[in-house]
Amino acid sequence: MAKNINKGKTKTIKLDHITKIEGHAKLTIQIVKNKLKKVKLDVYESARFFESLVLCRKYDQLSPLTSRICGTCSPSHAITSLLATENAFKIKVSEQTKTLRDLLMYGTIIQNHAMHLYLLVLPDYFGYDSAIEMASKYKKEVLMGLSLKKLGNELVTVVGGREIHPISAVIGGFSKIPEQDKLKELLVKFRKMKKYAAATADLFSKLTYPKFSRETQAFGLVNKTHSFYHGKINCVGGICFAEQSYDNIFEEHLKKGSTAKVVLYKNKPFFNGALARLLVNGDSLSKDAKKYLPKIDVKNPFHNNLAQAIELVHSFDRIIEILEKIKVHDEKPVSFDVKHGRRNAETAEGSARGIAVTEAPRGLLFHDYTYDENGHCIKANIITPTAQNLKQMEEDLKLMLPSLLSKPESVIKKHVEMLIRAYDPCFSCSSHFLEMKIEKR
């Protein structure tokens, strides 16, 4: 709801809430003599203290806890947490475990992208306030989005034990291996519904996106299969580094007046997520997904929506490829000794540190744990994609808003919402949507 408050020469426009976003944030726009003076994006979610909640916890408690950071991305947090712990204790998992985890990560990509694109983004472009309103005329599209989301849920359930907060993935492997028959059933469904993924990419490649262009850095994982489970961190320009050096590359700051972290690269903003992944690792996409790359404008953040649609196609192709080949067999999680791998030069004597990075649906996800000699966590750091994108969102708004100052307030509001929504932010995750206030003088 928009409110106009006039006090002398100062005009304040307050938007109490931006819908179709996860979490809450406040945007303040100050205009002096018809010129943009200030843009400030603040997160006012309550602090969530997950990095404190895991302290003194035993190593096997961290993954179930941290998956609660985000319901949509819970498999990403669960797997990244497991990887960090395994790296701390030098645990090497089997190829079957790696493959099943790969499937879990593709499943959460489908869950997130289908929901974001059809239920949150598409109403903007079709002129509706919500997917419920849109369904009266675009029932086919809404049902297609829900069907894709449901199939992603099924994959995560079969492999992870349930559709959110997976319980089968544990340190060293899986507590329960999915049944081969269930995987075969999934293969049939993914082959049948591949056309829905292609239709999504077709649809989002034909939308008219706001014209906007900017230069900035992009970071993402690089690997041969566009996997979301592993890879080296790369940015445009060819800089490539392993997860162990992340804290020497990125700078974390607590933003004044906010509960969220802000992450910078060489004191400058950058972005990650689907669009960044296509920019740094687009060559690894499947053949069918690559067909849509010419439609992408990597300098336009609104095209992150199209990038997610392209990743849907790729995810279907990779899932089908994996399910066609996989023949699961029973195996127990790798056993290990918490004392093995300690006395790491990077940590205090007698402790073990493990760092992991994966690609969550919204971008790079870091988990960093240090354990004592008894396997209890004594230090933790978690960096979410939205924390990394927060400053870039603010900078994009600064660049976009001058061209909108002469427009009606409703137009400004719509474009601001669409830009922020294109990043698919999760302010709940970053606080460790949107109240908008425009001040005119």
> Which residues lie below 8 Å from residue 411, measured CB to CB, with a gap of 6+?
404
Question: What pLDDT is attached to residue 6?
Answer: 37
Model confidence, pTM:
0.90
**Averaged over 206-217, what is the pLDDT?**
96
Q: Cα separations (Å) of 220 from 22, 239, 281, 389?
A: 22, 11, 7, 12
Q: How confident is the model at residue 12 (pLDDT cuts 50, 70, 90)?
A: very low
> Any residues with CB less than 8 A from the CB of 325 and at least 6 apart, and which?
none
> Where are any strands of DSSP class E within 184-277?
217-222, 232-235, 240-241, 250-254, 261-265, 270-271
What does the mean pLDDT of the chain come to?
Answer: 88
pLDDT digits (tens, 9 = 90+) for 286-298: 999 999 999 999 9
pLDDT of residue 138: 97
pLDDT given for residue 34 in this prediction: 77
Q: What is the mean pLDDT of residues 15-40?
A: 68
pLDDT at 42: 72
> What is the C-alpha separation between 196 and 313, in angstroms, rounded?
9
Instruction: Over range 419-434, report the average pLDDT.
Output: 69
Span 113-169, pLDDT tens digits: 999 999 999 999 999 989 999 999 999 999 999 999 999 999 999 999 999 999 999
Q: How many CB atoms lie within 10 A of CB 188?
A: 10
- Amino acid occupying residue 281: N
What would the pLDDT profile of 231-246 be if each residue is shown by its tens digit?
999 877 777 888 888 9
Task: Examine the pLDDT at 7 and tell me if it is beyond 50.
Answer: no
Give the pLDDT score at 55.
Answer: 92
User: Which pairing describes strands 25-32 and 435-440: parallel, antiparallel, or unpaired?
Assistant: parallel
| 3 pLDDT above the threshold of 80 | no
- Contact present, 57 and 377 (Cβ < 8 Å): yes
Measured CA to CA, the distance from residue 105 to residue 155 in angstroms comes to 10
Over 90: is that where the pLDDT of 201 sits? yes
The more confident residue out of 95 and 343 is 95
List the Cα angle 67/73/77 in 5-degree steps: 40
278 has a pLDDT exceeding 60: yes
Give 343-380 pLDDT, tens digit per residue.
444 555 568 999 999 999 999 999 999 999 999 999 99
pLDDT at residue 10, as a whole number = 46
Cβ(116)–Cβ(418) below 8 Å: no
Distance CA 52, CA 382 (A): 11
Query: What pLDDT, on a 0 to 100 scale, did the predictor assign at position 350?
Result: 64
- Between CA 65 and CA 81 the distance in angstroms is 9
**CATH 1.10.645.10 is right for the domain spanning 1-441:** yes
- Label residue 426 by pLDDT band (50, 70, 90): confident
Model pLDDT for residues 97-115, shown as the tens digit of each residue? 999 999 999 999 999 999 9
Alpha carbons 307 and 297: distance in angstroms, whole number: 10
* Per-residue confidence (pLDDT) for residue 336, from 0 to 100: 87
Token output for 240 = 């490539």
How many whole angstroms separate alpha carbon 11 and alpha carbon 103? 52
Cα separation of the two ends of the chain: 22
DSSP label of 347? S
Q: Which residue has the tokens 């870039």?
A: 392
Token pair of 175 as six digits: 């507590």
Element holding 3 (H helix, E strand): strand 2-7
pLDDT of residue 9: 46
Query: What residues does each domain of the chain span?
Result: 1-441
